Copies of this chain bind each other. A is one copy, B any other.
Amino acid sequence: MTGQVRTVDGRVAGRRGQATRQKLLDCLSEMLSSSPYRDVKVIDVARKAGTSPATFYQYFPDVEGAVLEIADQMAAEGAALAGLLEGRSWVGKAGWQTAQELVDGFLEFWRKHDAILRVVDLGAAEGDKRFYKLRMKILNSVNSSLADAVAELQSRGKVDKDVNPAAIAGSLVTMLAAVASHQKGFSAWGVKPPELRPNLALLVHLGVTGKKPSR
């Protein structure tokens, strides 16, 4: 099922090749964290990995291609985010708990992968379908769970009829993602991370249920 790893010119990669490939990915990942996306050069990645630029091009068509690969690995890990909402309740104190844990998990995931997620976000915003699909893949698990929760509350008459669950869920997820990547910006507004979290959870809870949480 997992298609074999192949080089650009079609050969299948063996043990050593895969190791080199992974090392290049790791080094690229590191470079993305330490320097602006625009300034990341193939030659620097290759140097850092102790190999030559030509080797890089053996495994990836270009920097973008390698970034997609990293993002893909991360997306797989991101599926775990759905677990934050699996079988959770949005009613009463449990609802407040759910909101808080969702926010925590989300911020944590984003902080861990911030460099690569920045690039994915940019690519998606620029209209590149590959990045855009990848972004979906990561957010979709959380998004659809949230949308389901809203729709369910709606069907029980606890949320107004004219609310669009997908729109609400999408907006909340987008908010979490954006706030996570601009956490530093909040310090400048005088908001420290520990203060941010409960307020975000409040917004999520309000958005999903339409009500203030009971703590």
Contacts and interface: CB of A to CB of B under 8 A. Distances in A.
A99 interface: no
Contact of A206 (B184, B195, B210): B210
Contact of A174 (B143, B162, B178): B178
A190 interface: yes
B124 A122 contact: no
A179 interface: yes
B36 A185 contact: no
Contacts of A121: 121-122, 125
A149 interface: no
A191 interface: yes
B171 A203 contact: yes
Chain A interface category by residue count = 35 or more
Q: Classify the secondary structure of A's interface with B.
A: helix
A191 B206 contact: no
A64 B170 CA distance: 32
A124 B185 CA distance: 8
Interface string A180-215: 011011101111000110111011001100101000
B195 A170 contact: no
Contacts of A171: 175, 179, 196, 199-200, 203
